Structure 1
Amino acid sequence: MDLARLKQALQQLPIDTLLSEIPEVQNSIAHLLKSNEAMREFDPKGEDRDLTEAIEENQALMERHENRIDLTLRVIKERLGEAAAYEVGSNVDAFRKEHPTKPVVPENQKQQQEQEQEEGVFL
């Protein structure tokens, strides 16, 4: 569903359903993170193309979920006010700190990636 239609749908939800939207999406994100972690443990070198694609698909889905959460927060602010949006937003921030959706790259891999980029062809 595109964000415009999602916003319209969120604006029509009963308040209690609107407020339960974010925890449901966060639950989905938590499951996707666990799934990716399990696939990475099974194939730590990333040699299995199917697992690599599944991880990438999960990452893309988590990004869409994060956008959905942000949109839901905006609708909560519009419908319920700044205080409600702040309260829900603080819970979202805590969740995001505990469950980052962007994979954490170890420092030695970051340095290796930067070095590989520097060794590219420059015109």
Structure 2
Amino acid sequence: MYKNLTIIAFLGAITILLGAFGAHALKETLAPEALKSFETAVRYQMYHVIVLLIVNSVDYFSNQLKNRLAIIFLLGIFLFSGSIYGIYLFGIPVRYLWFVTPLGGLLFVIGWLMLCYDFYKKALKK
């Protein structure tokens, strides 16, 4: 559990740094539409970091679910946000990453559906 929380907290710090970098350094170099995409990547990353912090901090969820969600959401962050960072920070052509961003988004949806299913199973037991 603490290993997951350590990784998640570190990822939260990176999210803040990327957000600040985007707001200050990239503001002058990216077109408004590109900056908006970058901000979306940072925002989605932070949403999922917060969810992972909550899920991994409470006893409500099984360790198995915590680990699965950590893998799914971390891969989602890497693919969704990471592909956008790759395009706007490292200049990787979109044609190399066009399929990666939606795959990361799909992983986010899968993670949320896993949470939904877990809540549903627990609701049926009560």
TM-score by length of structure 2 reads 0.41
Larger Rg, first or second structure (1 or 2):
1
More helix by share: 2
Structure number with the bigger relative contact order (C-alpha 8 A, sep ≥ 6) is 1
